[in-house]
Structure 1
Amino acid sequence: MQFKFSQYQYQTDAADAVCDVFDGQPLQDGVSYIRDTGIRRPTSPALQPAQDAFDIPELRPVQEMLGHFDADDDTGYRNADLLLDGERLLANIKNVQRRQNLTESPKLYTDPAGAVELDVEMETGTGKTFVYTKTMFELNRRYGWSKFIVVVPSIAIREGVAKSLDMTGDYFYTSGRDGNEGYGKKLHSFIYDSSNLNRLDEFAQSSDIQVMVINMQAFNTSMKENGRSRDARIIFSERDDFGSRRPIDVISASHPIMILDEPQKMGGKATQAGIRLFKPLFTLNYSATHKIKHDLVYALDALDAYNQRLVKRIEVKGFELNNMRGTDGYLYLQDVIVSKNRAPQARIEYKKLSSAGKVVTTSGLFDEGDDVYTASGGLEAYRDGWRIAPDGIVPDGLEPGRTGYVRFMNGETLGKGRIMNDGSEADMRRVQIRETILSHLHKEEHLWARGIKCLSLFFIDEVAKYRQYDDDGEPLNGEYADMFEQEYDRCVHDFVENRLDDGSGYLDWLRTTHGRYVHKGYFSIDKHGHSIDSKVKRGSEDSDDISAYDLILKNKERLLSFDEPTRFIFSHSALREGWDNPNVFQICTLKHSDNEVGKRQEVGRGLRLCVNREGVRQDRNLLSDADFLDVNLLTVIASESYERFAESLQKDIETDLRERPIVINDAFFAKTCVPADKLGPEYAGLGDVSFSKDEARDIVYALTVDRLIDRDGKLTDKYKEERFGKDAVELLPEPLRKKVPAIRLVLDSVVEGTTKVLIGNALKRKVHGNPLNANWQKKEFQELWRRINHKYAYTVSFDDDELVKNAVKAIDERLVVSKLSYTVTRGIQKENASRNELADRTHFHRNDSYTGGLDVDASNGVRYDLLGEIAQAATITRRCAARILKSIRPDRFLMFRDNPEQFIARVGRLIVQEKANMVVDHICYDRIEGGYDSSIFTKGGNNRDEAEGYQASKCVQDWVFPDGRIESDFAKDLDNAAEVAVYAKLPRGFQIPTPVGNYAPDWAVAFRDDSGLKHLFFVAETKGSLESFDLRGIENSKIACAKRLFNQLDLADGTRYEQATTYQTLLDEVKALQ
């Protein structure tokens, strides 16, 4: 099978964008110069060949392909000089940018030697190599330039570029110019090799298009003139075997055009210094994510590529383990954080027992001396020695050649990016493999009739998990290979059994396959022919193993053939860059998700549009939009939850989107907000300024009538001269004119390119601080605060026999301990993408989810002090705990084996609930010394979105941040009620102690003296319908204790406590007390 190439408009646009920068440059084809042929050693006449010794007819095509290389001919060909001055080049660049709807460059970017630098932005999977190959042909056709050097960041990309240049040769020769007509030329490419310098003579002497490909590592090493490396000595020294010439002089004499593929991965100064030594005519930078910006002449970012249907749609399958065990002592060191003002800290992921009795995975910052056992909520697996040792947080590089790590008091060390004691990893990997196979089978059945081979790609970080060897060197399955074969055979059996035969032949074919023969590993190979882990140099994520990439590229076309049984591929994660097979439809990374590899990079290997068995790409020229999205669908089987993966992926995409020129219209002003601190002190009274839809419409009307914006919503030259002047102001309605300073600031920021800094989203304005206001000083509230601002202690007594009886009954009837399970959540990209959706993280939407079970042993060898743990959880004696456990049903006691931590937490909780039911009638409160300072209302400040709050009028603070709709409605009703004088949303710090935990009421309300109500001061609770498990049990007991404190004991000077779901309910209760 051979790939069939097609012409796309974006490819032509990208090539034209570069070429049009040089509009006005004359065509000069084949500029010759006398090249340095070097000093040749004399040879004996007897050893010299006859003049026609090399005139062999069979070799003539080869000689023609090499450009008639003649070692004795001193004629060389170089790129003609660039004759356009800087002013003309910048004018051309701006014309191109206007045509491409790009932000215009303020100046011409050049390197220190004066060579122009241009940027081309192209999304991963859209074919950068193809585009810059076409650009080379176009530059040659228009201007005669023929010498190019392509610099790439890794051996993986180098090998891929070389393969692409070879594959596209015939296409560009015959039809690559416009899809029908070709260039009638072929380019001659080679990979730079310091051991084969004679190829540089061919590069210099040929008048044909010559392309040298070099990877960054060789490039940067070679460019160190005083370096000790072999490459440096060769390229900068006069070599006897190279005619006493310096190779760098031979290359630079041609004034090559430099093409940098993925320049952001190449490091800055070393690469730039190296480029200057080549004396380039100019430099072209091709990337999806430019870090250093130059003159951008073409952009096709992730948003453009997806909306134009140039890449696959992405579907995500995310996983969450439910009812996790806390028995394994799982730890993952995410990072070691170094700052100037404090000692290093470790960000560690660990398991924690939640207040609801569930074990969850969380992360936090740890200092020297911090104890994981304490942070985990007392999980037994962390009890022995998991405290960070003195000087136990070691940053990267502090010890030569070693990344950061943490050392614990028990002597264990945990390296950055490493996992320890993950008892659920094997469960997770099996689920990922199973779900990848299921996705594959469904996709494969769908693609079968279209003649499209479906491939799935697994990335692993340790070859031994897939392939092992016995003592005789014979290959054996590793853990993942065994898992795969077991799951494949099971999934295929279930798939075939549950399908009706549609006559396509797919099910018959599927029955003949066996898990053993459908997967294959692609890894680095040692001298014995064994698969080994790919070596990665420090500071890199990719391997430089040429043999592994040769294997991947050599089999690229074969893997697309139905004659090849391999459909599932396992490869080392360090070889990720080498994979760009268009028919990868599933990608699964069988390793812990970390921050080292971005989510875009993780999905990037599968974004290319697929091809059928004839090599024809399945694009929008061939398929309807619905069929395109249906066929070109990449499923990512994540190693984390759907929400977390989708959030990170959208963040990655949004971060790398190009800046688009701002269109000034109604929507632009309606969604903007100018912070008060940007307006200056003279306009302090305005506060944060935003614009309603009507105001936005009036502003755009004024700008249009005064000709300050054009029909496309862009600022005109008149605006740049006059700004928002008197004529425009007079076109605004009078009430809007006070906002003119903000309008001018917004428009000026568009001109200056600082819009993002000055303008916030009106829907996400922040409340910075929420101080006490004048309502705090009202006599009604001061009297209310005097009555309730006390602290209390309680005493309580109850009968142990009654507690044991009630607790045993509750455990037998209500105890549920969950077994380990997993939930799969599937989400997919919306059909079209927008920047706002990416910013709001709403570009993906959830499709469905389902739950499966995992049959595992939960004990994991951890020993528990069961009586002590239950006694501590329920705050009872060990003797009482023993009586309860001895009396419960045996099947309930056996639940301990399913999930020990959850058993302890839930048994303890049931005992606490029964204890709570008993204590209310026997509790006694006493007032103790002390009260609360007013600062509890403002402690910690506020920095919350206005949209989350309600701007109140009778509250002691300007803003109320309610917990849900019921509280929001309650606050609004308090403001509108004529009977209410003042109220407060009580802070969490205002608490009443109870035997089942501290309790914080919601509201304090003071009614007006003239309201006609007998009881004027109330503490209120709004908890909706009170239907949750907590509110039926423990929370109900807390509320009952609070009610007893305020209503039955004479400790609160007559202040009443009531529950209410609405203000009307509270008012009815108040009137009932009359």
Structure 2
Amino acid sequence: MKFKFKVQQYQTDAADAVASVFEGQPNQGASVYLRDLGRKPTRAQGEIDFGDESAEGYANAPVALSGADILANVRAVQRRNQIPESEELFRGMGACQLDVEMETGTGKTYVYTKTMLELNRLYGWCKFIVVVPSVAIREGVAKSLENTQEHFFSQYHKKIRFFIYDSDNLTELDAYSQSSDVNCMVINMQAFNASMKEGAKNKAARIIFDERDEFSSRRPIDVIAANRPIVICDEPQKMGKKGGATQKGIARFNPLFVLSYSATHKEKHDLVYALDALDAYNQKFVKRIEVKSFALKNMRGTDGYLYLRDIVVSKNRAPEAVIEFKCMGSGGKVRKKTARFGEGDSIYDASGSTKLEAYRGYTIASGNDGVVPPQDGRAGYVRFLDGSIGNDGRIYIGEVYGDSAADDMQRIQIRETIMSHLQKEEALFRRGIKCLSLFFIDQVAKYRDLSGNGETVGYGKIFEEEYEAIVSDRLKHPTQDDILDPSYAQYLGRFEAHSVHSGYFSVDKKGNAVESKTEKKAEREDGIGINDDDAKRGYDLILRDKERLLSFDEPVRFIFSHSALREGWDNPNIFQICTLKESGSETSKRQEVGRGMRLAVDQDGNRQDTALLGPDEVHRVNLLTVIASESYETFVRDLQTDISKSLRERPKKVEMNLFSGRDVVLDGETVSFTEEESKRIYKALYKCDLIDDDDKPTAEFRKAVEGGTFVEYFVAKLPEKIADAAHAKAVEALVRSVYDVHALDGMIGRAQEKISENTLTDNFAKREFKELWARINRKHAYTVSFSDDELRRKSIERINSDLRVSRLQYTLTVGGQKSQTTRDEVQGGSSFGRTQTETRDVDAGTASVGVTYDLVGEVAQAAAITRRSAAAILAGIDANVFGLYRVNPEEFIKKAAALIVSEKATMIVEHISYHEIDDAYDEAIFTERMPDNASKAYEAKKNIQRFVFPDSDGERRFAEDMDAAAEVAVYAKLPRAFQIPTPVGNYAPDWAIAFKEGSVRHVFFVAETKGTMDTLELSGVENAKIACAKKLFNEMSTSDVRYHNVATYEDLLEVMGKID
């Protein structure tokens, strides 16, 4: 099989974008120079013998254009490609540095190969160097140059002579220098950086900088630099920071100019072509993404789960560990939570109001050895006082400890990947397309034994077990399609489970697969001779022989790879990607899915693109399914965040909303436009040919601005009310902002006020509120008496009847990208949509016996009863109900206690009594804290503070109605710190209201705004709290304050007439 290539317009446009920058450059062919042939050993007579070797060399001719000419061409190309124009020419190395942005999977290597040939055809330049960040990318580039030779020869009637730089074989440099053909040297960053350390002791450095006897006493670096090569950087964001070893090394090559190709540029130069993720997806140049994720439900808190995500270092604070752990929620459910911890902090204290016993003793050590950030190439870690946690008390960044459900979930992921693969594979097989799946793992040792024999272990064993079971079941139940055409069933039965999967990992100098922390060293050594035959075969097959991997005759269809191996290798026929690891910061979601974004090919090498399949079919065939290791919401959010960060700035259009609602500050005066004025301005700009049919500024507009005539000309076109120079200047600035990012600098009005405090207003000092506050600010205590025996009997009956404990489950969620999407949707997190959810049980046995609970004490504390009562209740429930404790201890405790509290609530209201204590609430409770989210702030008129922060839409309407009500004098949104004690938990009412005297029956009122007034819709505990508040204010108090729960302000007015 051979890949087939076709001329595609977007790739032609990308090559033309670079070539057009040098429009006006004469084609002088290669520049001839006298090569330094060095010295050869002298003969006996003392004569130097150069033999017949020619001294002619061929270098790239100099760039004849001035910087101003190149900048003008760059801007013209940017306008053509709808890219914001450069302010000045970037000339870091050579005549210029140009960026080409292309989404992963759209053919960057193809494009810069075509660009080399175009630059040679138009301008005669023939010497190129491609710099790549890894061995994997180097191998991929070499393979691409080889595969595309015939394709490009049919267009240009030339072949690129390419070679991989090897410091042990310098003869290639002479051939490179003396050839006038199109020549390309490919060099990977690891060899490159090692070679460029002049004066270093390593062998590579001595070779490139020293005069070598075997190289005729010449310095190889001088031979390369004499060619004035055009340097092409593939994935430059992976080559270190600006001014680093790679950048310095490129400068030593004496480049004519530099071209950078990437989907995610970090260092920005002059961008001349952009095809970002949004462009590529909407134009169907890459696969559509579908996500399948698994979220655990009803987790147990018995395993002491910890995941050290990161260690954060800041200037003014000690290092903090970002740890994911489990905590008990208010509803009794255990969930995962992420928080920051410093030295001496306790995970146990953070595990919820009902603390999880599994975390007792999980305290971080104090001092410099508690939270240790990464340093000197060593991984950061957290050390706990309990040495049994992790590795001698240490957990390193990226490590998980105590995850009892991890093995179950990873088996589920592997199973779902195989099932997704087989479901897709049958349809693809009948189209002649081989289906591949990729597993990302975090440790090589979880797949292959690193001790030397290379046996498959861990994930590999699980895979073989699941594959055998699923395929066996599939073959036992033939489908109607199998009867009509048995070829796919025969294909499934051809290969054993052990032969359909293989691994691709970094290797060390001795050829052994290695973990990620030694990956860079491995690539420096360029080692690929792997001891284990299966491992070597997998490496060669996956990296170097993609054609064979895509053949139905090759059994491998499932690939296991290290999660740290990112850019540099992919395969067009990867249709499933499964991440069997915790997602860390090292590998972004976009990098993971990027390994499978390229459009698939069939057995004849035909790309399954729009030209072949049509626009409606291309994304049905080319669907990449990601089986994620985290929840659907988390994965999709992070993926969209990754994508949105890399989306290029698109030039705005001149539309009505460019003017409407915008405040432009000119000479201290604010200029604004109404919606009607904006419409008339837009029409005037179009009528005067100042914007075109695509709502872009025309050459006429630019000419008027540059000539200083726009303001005078356009004043007469403005609506009469705003026909002045200030408004015309504002229009000019706004239209110019479409292509000039600095056009509005200092002209935009202030943003919406950020609320940092909620101050008391003059309403607080009103007589009505002072009198109301004096009546309600006293604190109270209560007494209540009821029969313990009755509570025990009713609680036992209730627990036996109603106690349900959740079993460990997982929810499978499936969703995918919309067929077309926008930048706003990607940035707003709405470019994906869920299509299916399904919940399944996980057979995980009973809870760990390693955690000992004081069951009686926990229930007694949670239900606020005596230990004796708790023991009697637990002893009295049915054995099968008590057995649920083993299934989920935390939830059993929480729910049993809640049922006891509910029964207690129904018994206490009749017997409760309140009395004042010698304590009162201070006025400071209104201002001592701000809410976490102030986005819904309502600026009130009659509240005692400037803002009300409503908890619901109903609360906001209640406040708005009180502000509008003539009978309301003043009100306060009561803070959570204002609480009424009850036997079923403290209760915080919502509002304190003072009415104008004579307007209503009760001048002072405390109200609770529930969504309903129907007691049947409220829980027993909520009803009990409300009943206690009514008893306090309406029956026992002598302060003339009344209380009721209401749904609306109208309800409040109605109930006031019914309360005595």
Q: Flag whether TM exceeds 0.5 (same fold).
A: yes
1:126 aligns with 2:106: yes
**Aligned with 2:36: secondary structure?**
coil
Q: Is the 8 A contact 2:658 2:734 kept in 1?
A: no
**Aligned with 2:425: secondary structure?**
helix
* Superposed displacement of residue 754, structure 1: 5.0
Q: Is the 8 A contact 2:312 2:373 kept in 1?
A: no
**Aligned with 2:272: secondary structure?**
strand
- Aligned position for 1:447: 428
- Aligned position for 1:178: none
**Aligned with 1:625: secondary structure?**
coil
**Aligned with 1:1072: secondary structure?**
coil
* Superposed displacement of residue 701, structure 1: 4.7
1:613 aligns with 2:593: no
* Superposed displacement of residue 972, structure 1: 3.4
1:631 aligns with 2:621: yes
Quick one: structure 1 residues 527 and 331, their matched pair in 2 at CA, closer, same or farther if it must change by over 3 Å? same
Quick one: structure 1 residues 733 and 457, their matched pair in 2 at CA, closer, same or farther if it must change by over 3 Å? farther
Work out the CA distance in 1 between the residues paired with 2:983 and 2:709. 72
Matched AA of 1:264: Q
Instruction: Show CA shifts across 1:196-245 (max 9, x none).
Output: 11110001011111100111122222222232322221111111111000
Work out the CA distance in 2 between the residues paired with 1:566 and 1:764. 58
Q: Is the 8 A contact 2:509 2:525 kept in 1?
A: no
State which of 210, 228, 246 in structure 1 corresponds to 2:183: 210
- Aligned position for 2:864: 875
Q: Is the 8 A contact 1:303 1:833 kept in 2?
A: yes
**Aligned with 1:442: secondary structure?**
helix
1:518 aligns with 2:505: no
State which of 1064, 1068, 1073 in structure 1 corresponds to 2:1050: 1064
Q: Is the 8 A contact 1:620 1:628 kept in 2?
A: yes
Q: Is the 8 A contact 1:523 1:534 kept in 2?
A: no
State which of 344, 361, 374 in structure 1 corresponds to 2:336: 361
Quick one: structure 1 residues 893 and 510, their matched pair in 2 at CA, closer, same or farther if it must change by over 3 Å? farther
Quick one: structure 1 residues 96 and 956, their matched pair in 2 at CA, closer, same or farther if it must change by over 3 Å? same
Quick one: structure 1 residues 210 and 761, their matched pair in 2 at CA, closer, same or farther if it must change by over 3 Å? farther
* Superposed displacement of residue 847, structure 1: 0.9
Quick one: structure 1 residues 359 and 510, their matched pair in 2 at CA, closer, same or farther if it must change by over 3 Å? farther
Instruction: Show CA shifts across 1:114-153 (max 9, x none).
Output: 5311111111111110100000010011111110000011
* Superposed displacement of residue 880, structure 1: 1.9
- Aligned position for 2:260: 285
1:1043 aligns with 2:1025: no
State which of 357, 372, 390 in structure 2 corresponds to 1:380: 357
Matched AA of 2:383: R
Quick one: structure 1 residues 621 and 525, their matched pair in 2 at CA, closer, same or farther if it must change by over 3 Å? same
Q: Is the 8 A contact 2:441 2:561 kept in 1?
A: yes
Q: Is the 8 A contact 2:438 2:577 kept in 1?
A: yes
State which of 319, 337, 341 in structure 1 corresponds to 2:312: 337
Instruction: Show CA shifts across 1:373-421 (max 9, x none).
Output: 11112211111343433334344345x4422111111131111121111
Work out the CA distance in 1 between the residues paired with 2:685 and 2:427. 54
- Aligned position for 1:10: 10
Instruction: Show CA shifts across 1:837-861 (max 9, x none).
Output: 1121111111111111111123222
Q: Unmatched 5+ residue regions in structure 2? A: 388-392, 530-535
Q: Is the 8 A contact 1:542 1:575 kept in 2?
A: no
**Aligned with 1:93: secondary structure?**
helix
**Aligned with 1:195: secondary structure?**
coil
- Aligned position for 1:603: 593
Instruction: Show CA shifts across 1:34-67 (max 9, x none).
Output: 101111114799xx99xxxxxxxxxxxxxxxxxx
Instruction: Show CA shifts across 1:566-603 (max 9, x none).
Output: 22222222334343110000001111111211111011
Paired residues in the alignment total 1031
- Aligned position for 2:223: 250
Work out the CA distance in 1 between the residues paired with 2:304 and 2:51. 71
Work out the CA distance in 2 between the residues paired with 1:436 and 1:923. 60
Q: Is the 8 A contact 2:570 2:595 kept in 1?
A: yes
Matched AA of 1:1017: F
Q: Is the 8 A contact 1:702 1:728 kept in 2?
A: no
Matched AA of 2:385: M
Instruction: Show CA shifts across 1:233-290 (max 9, x none).
Output: 1111111111000000100001000001111111121222211211111110111111
1:508 aligns with 2:489: yes
State which of 153, 157, 171 in structure 1 corresponds to 2:151: 171
State which of 887, 894, 910 in structure 2 corresponds to 1:905: 894
Matched AA of 1:1008: K
* Superposed displacement of residue 301, structure 1: 0.7
TM-score, normalisation: structure 2: 0.91
Bigger mean CA offset, 1027-1036 vs 974-983: 1027-1036
* Superposed displacement of residue 94, structure 1: 1.0
- Aligned position for 2:652: 662
Work out the CA distance in 2 between the residues paired with 1:828 and 1:764. 35
1:985-1000 correspondence to structure 2 within 5 Å:
985-1000=973-988
Quick one: structure 1 residues 153 and 367, their matched pair in 2 at CA, closer, same or farther if it must change by over 3 Å? same
Matched AA of 2:31: V
Instruction: Show CA shifts across 1:910-934 (max 9, x none).
Output: 2222223333233332333444444
Work out the CA distance in 2 between the residues paired with 1:610 and 1:140. 31
Matched AA of 1:200: L
Work out the CA distance in 2 between the residues paired with 1:144 and 1:935. 80
1:524-563 correspondence to structure 2 within 5 Å:
524=506, 533=515, 536-537=518-519, 545-546=527-528, 550-563=540-553
- Aligned position for 2:533: none
Bigger mean CA offset, 729-738 vs 342-351: 729-738
Quick one: structure 1 residues 510 and 105, their matched pair in 2 at CA, closer, same or farther if it must change by over 3 Å? same
1:404 aligns with 2:380: yes
Bigger mean CA offset, 1035-1044 vs 707-716: 707-716
Quick one: structure 1 residues 765 and 852, their matched pair in 2 at CA, closer, same or farther if it must change by over 3 Å? farther
Q: Is the 8 A contact 1:767 1:944 kept in 2?
A: no
Matched AA of 1:102: I
- Aligned position for 1:21: 21
- Aligned position for 1:731: 718
Work out the CA distance in 2 between the residues paired with 1:756 and 1:605. 41
- Aligned position for 1:697: 679
- Aligned position for 1:303: 278
TM-score, normalisation: structure 1: 0.89
* Superposed displacement of residue 32, structure 1: 1.4
* Superposed displacement of residue 710, structure 1: 5.3
Q: Unmatched 5+ residue regions in structure 1? A: 50-68, 175-181
1:881-920 correspondence to structure 2 within 5 Å:
881-920=870-909
- Aligned position for 1:834: 822
State which of 445, 452, 471 in structure 2 corresponds to 1:464: 445
Bigger mean CA offset, 973-982 vs 206-215: 973-982
- Aligned position for 1:491: 470
- Quote the sequence identity (%): 53
Work out the CA distance in 1 between the residues paired with 2:44 and 2:786. 117
Work out the CA distance in 2 between the residues paired with 1:974 and 1:620. 61
Matched AA of 2:859: I
1:698-713 correspondence to structure 2 within 5 Å:
700-701=682-683, 712-713=694-695
1:431 aligns with 2:412: yes
Work out the CA distance in 2 between the residues paired with 1:185 and 1:1028. 86
Quick one: structure 1 residues 43 and 553, their matched pair in 2 at CA, closer, same or farther if it must change by over 3 Å? farther
Quick one: structure 1 residues 518 and 543, their matched pair in 2 at CA, closer, same or farther if it must change by over 3 Å? farther
Quick one: structure 1 residues 774 and 641, their matched pair in 2 at CA, closer, same or farther if it must change by over 3 Å? same
Bigger mean CA offset, 864-873 vs 321-330: 864-873
Quick one: structure 1 residues 512 and 906, their matched pair in 2 at CA, closer, same or farther if it must change by over 3 Å? same
Work out the CA distance in 1 between the residues paired with 2:220 and 2:414. 51
1:807 aligns with 2:795: yes
- Aligned position for 1:1015: 1002
Matched AA of 1:282: F
Q: Is the 8 A contact 2:1013 2:1045 kept in 1?
A: no
Bigger mean CA offset, 22-31 vs 182-191: 22-31
Matched AA of 2:1030: K
Matched AA of 1:329: G
**Aligned with 1:993: secondary structure?**
coil
